[in-house]
Structure 1
Amino acid sequence: MKIRLTLLTASLLLAHQAMAKDVSLSTARDIANTTTPASESQAFDALENQSLAALRAALKGDGAKVERERLEKASQSAKQADTAWLKASGYDFKVKDNQQAGIELLSSFNKLPASELEANLNTVEKINLDATQGLRHQALADAEGISYLYFLSDALGPRLGKAFITAYDKGELGKAAALIKASEVSTGAAKKHFDYKRPFLIQGNTIHQVPDDVVVKDNKPYSAEGGSFPSGHTNTGYTDALLMAEMIPERFDSLVERGARYGYSRIVLGVHYPLDVMGSRMVAQRNVAHYLNDPRYRALFNEARDQLRVALEKECGTSLAECAKTVGKDDPYRDPAMKEFYRFTMSYDLPQQKGKAQPVKVPEGAEVLLEAALPNLSAAARRELMVKTALPDGYPLSGETADQNFWQRLNLSAAYATAHKAK
């Protein structure tokens, strides 16, 4: 045991030192591009095409083609999501309470200096203008697929990803589909509270609004309404990805990174700033941990998880562990570079305020987020991982309170990778 703890401590220190290296905007773009239809893997491209085709079929419904008017009203079908089961449970998600907690968590946004807000705009302009066609196509699919879970398939690898889409459309994942979507705490109240204009509405901006030639295929420039901070789509992406990661811990790292990748798509489209995405990551992490620590929610979660895992094994024709295995270059979300990309999305290279670092204090129960992925570690060891692999202090939104500082700096991807290196 002493040897194992020593190895873990040494690995933690090395990981913490490595995180000090920032990834450039261009490097992040190139990494993200490997997870688009521009991937060099035919198997991954086939999965992306299957996911997009399934999304378009769901959006089309009984119509002859995908109509833009249907997008705002789109939702999972009764076959896909067992909403009757969830409604019968009578569970209270306490949305307003959680929305207020999110507003408080992000309150440091109002104290950011003008220089950081300027850097925020400059960064979205650069990412948006330098985006590849593959990134833009993936961003459009991510945007219009917000009401469904198809986007999670590419983080599962070609084999499990295909099984996931099949099981989802057969209605075999109904409880998980219903619970995950119901767990998304709307950012609407926060958007009204902070009342920040989207980047393409700022006077003198250079944002390129991307024509839709992927989902609706009417070449209408993609746009968005309402406030910018925080990002509603990113909140959805992170919440869905993190809950799925808790249900399929065999793909924990890939799914967590898919949440980050989903947020990046919002910047590619020029409808959100880095701070919008960063703030939603914080809120989504907090909300998922909050729910998983509620015994009543946990009972529903366990029931949904068990149904999902049985269904996926059935579709795979083998164990979930076997079906989830990495398949070389056909599995870009398992490329080590995605760890660097995740680290990049925690700060987007925005200015770091130098000075005395605030110590990381793990909120009670936050370690639940690593419980499924690292079942052999004690709660104390998981908390230690969170502290040792945290993002360096001083980046925007790390704020002044212990909770703000923790949720901004929590690096789940690094914590998971560090624990596995120590084995």
Structure 2
Amino acid sequence: MKLQFTLLTSALLLALPVLAKEVPLSQAADIASSVTPASASPSFDALEIQTLAQLRAALKGDAATLTRDQLEKAKQNKTQADKAWLKASGYDFRVKENQQAGIDLLSVFSKLPETVINANLQTVTAINRDASQLTRHQALADAEGISYLYFLSDALGPRLGKAFLDAYDKGDLGKAAALIKASEVSTGEAKKHFNNPRPFLIQGNTIHLVPDDVVVKDNQPYTADGGSFPSGHTNTGYTDALLMAEMIPERFDALVTRGARYGYSRIVLGVHYPLDVMGSRMVAQRNVAHYLNDASYRALFNEARDQLRTALEKECGTSLTECAKTDGKNDPYRDPAMQTFYRFTMTYDLPQQKGEQQSLKVPEGADVLLEAALPNLSAAQRQALMVKTALPAGYPLSGTTPDQQFWQRLNLPAAYALGHHAH
């Protein structure tokens, strides 16, 4: 088996140079649009319609109509999230400590050259300007559903996605829902530290703020306050998606890519730059790995995961493996093009500084992110995959420290794909 892994790895590595190629903005936009309602298949569209309907119902609660004021108070209800279970555990998420670790990880932001900063604004301007109406609708749903887990359903495929939505609102996923949302380490302190103005506040900008005709449906332009770097919504999207991918490794690649798609939505709305999204990916990856390596957290995670998997199998009426199977055109997050999209979101085609390629050092325990998805591989093999599929050096935020290099260059879907096909 080890020989088979080595031979197949060598063969697949021949295709890896494509990872270093830039992806045109227009191609990335087309791929992003392929996972929006009315652009995939009737089955996928039905799932998206159900997702939006349940989100709007949750936001509205017992009120007669949905208003914008309700968005500010939105949170998972007692049925959806078992916060009492989590509180009783007494687990300390060490928020301040992890917030500082995030600031340190992103410290290179303050030293980026003007060419990168200019390209950063040009890219958000182009994506915001050229986004299709469907992509804007998806961005609004992503933005205003931040307090919930509904957005993860479309990365699960029509069958498992529907089961997830039904079980979530019944309260059958309560432990997972509570733990995942509590694991989102706020980017508030980092925003204050870096104090970077949002793109629509830059003098002379041409950002188009998107009116809400999807969720609240009051046509009020979507906006945001506070600093831009790093993106809080993107941190939420990646954290939620990564943890769900660890709980449902049968959908690992699709869920991780959903995190990237969630971050892209922030740029579509014109409220964040590419660097904001890239930085939050780095922080979320680091935080999830940190928590999964903590024995006390892992005990809670395992309990929540087991409850979730049991509930989903019951809802599906079959094994999770069967329910999670890829469903062709009805399952766009499993389209190979989404790997191309993910690679694009790692850099957003921002300028690469050419120079000597720095060797990549995997932080202790980082391979835990691939453990559930590639259980038959050793820690050393998972680490090797992370190194072999990593982004080339020199892109913004990759910095100079080993941690900055690793968390910016880590391409989880590519590492998973290589390991999955080789084993």
**Residue 21 of structure 2 is aligned to residue 3 of structure 1:** no
**Residue 286 of structure 2 is aligned to residue 286 of structure 1:** yes
TM-superposed CA distance for 1:404, in Å, is 0.2
TM-superposed CA distance for 1:2, in Å, is 4.5
Distance of 1:354 and 1:16 partners within structure 2: 19
TM-superposed CA distance for 1:47, in Å, is 0.3
Distance of 1:57 and 1:7 partners within structure 2: 52
Q: Write the letter of the residue equivalent to 2:227.
A: G
Deviations 1:21-59 (A, max 9, x none): 221100000001011013230110100000000000000
**Is the partner of 2:122 in helix, strand or coil?**
helix
**Is the partner of 1:386 in helix, strand or coil?**
helix
1:169-208 residue pairs with structure 2 within 5 A? 169-208=169-208
Distance of 1:327 and 1:376 partners within structure 2: 25
Does the CA-based 8 Å contact 1:158-1:330 persist in structure 2? yes
**Residue 120 of structure 2 is aligned to residue 147 of structure 1:** no
Distance of 2:39 and 2:54 partners within structure 1: 19
- Identify unmatched segments of 5+ residues in structure 2: none
TM-superposed CA distance for 1:69, in Å, is 0.5
**Residue 223 of structure 2 is aligned to residue 223 of structure 1:** yes
1:157 matched residue in structure 2: 157
Does the CA-based 8 Å contact 1:11-1:422 persist in structure 2? no
Instruction: Count residues with an aligned counterpart.
Output: 423
Distance of 2:183 and 2:91 partners within structure 1: 11
Does the CA-based 8 Å contact 2:40-2:332 persist in structure 1? no
Q: Write the letter of the residue equivalent to 2:248.
A: I
Distance of 1:365 and 1:250 partners within structure 2: 22
Does the CA-based 8 Å contact 1:11-1:418 persist in structure 2? no
Q: Write the letter of the residue equivalent to 2:387.
A: V
1:105 matched residue in structure 2: 105
Distance of 1:86 and 1:15 partners within structure 2: 45
1:262 matched residue in structure 2: 262
Deviations 1:297-352 (A, max 9, x none): 00000000000000000000000000000111000000000000000000000000
Cα RMSD, aligned residues only: 0.8
1:96 matched residue in structure 2: 96
**Residue 80 of structure 2 is aligned to residue 77 of structure 1:** no
Distance of 1:40 and 1:165 partners within structure 2: 19
1:13 matched residue in structure 2: 13
Task: Mark the CA change 1:365 to 1:8 in structure 2 (over 3 Å): closer, same or farther.
Answer: farther
TM-score (ref. length: structure 1): 0.99
Q: Write the letter of the residue equivalent to 2:385.
A: L
TM-superposed CA distance for 1:17, in Å, is 1.6
- Identify unmatched segments of 5+ residues in structure 1: none
Does the CA-based 8 Å contact 1:12-1:388 persist in structure 2? no
Distance of 2:200 and 2:54 partners within structure 1: 30
**Is the partner of 1:71 in helix, strand or coil?**
helix
Distance of 1:285 and 1:413 partners within structure 2: 13
Deviations 1:251-300 (A, max 9, x none): 00000000000000000000000000000000000000000000000000
1:55 matched residue in structure 2: 55
Q: Write the letter of the residue equivalent to 1:86.
A: L
1:282-361 residue pairs with structure 2 within 5 A? 282-361=282-361
Does the CA-based 8 Å contact 2:9-2:418 persist in structure 1? no
Distance of 2:15 and 2:129 partners within structure 1: 33
2:414 matched residue in structure 1: 414
Distance of 2:403 and 2:60 partners within structure 1: 43
Distance of 2:97 and 2:141 partners within structure 1: 32
TM-score (ref. length: structure 2): 0.99
Distance of 2:154 and 2:131 partners within structure 1: 20
Distance of 1:249 and 1:11 partners within structure 2: 25
Q: Write the letter of the residue equivalent to 1:70.
A: Q
Q: Write the letter of the residue equivalent to 1:201.
A: L
Does the CA-based 8 Å contact 2:195-2:227 persist in structure 1? yes
Distance of 2:72 and 2:399 partners within structure 1: 35
Deviations 1:99-125 (A, max 9, x none): 000000000000001111000000000
Does the CA-based 8 Å contact 1:11-1:421 persist in structure 2? no
Does the CA-based 8 Å contact 1:309-1:320 persist in structure 2? yes
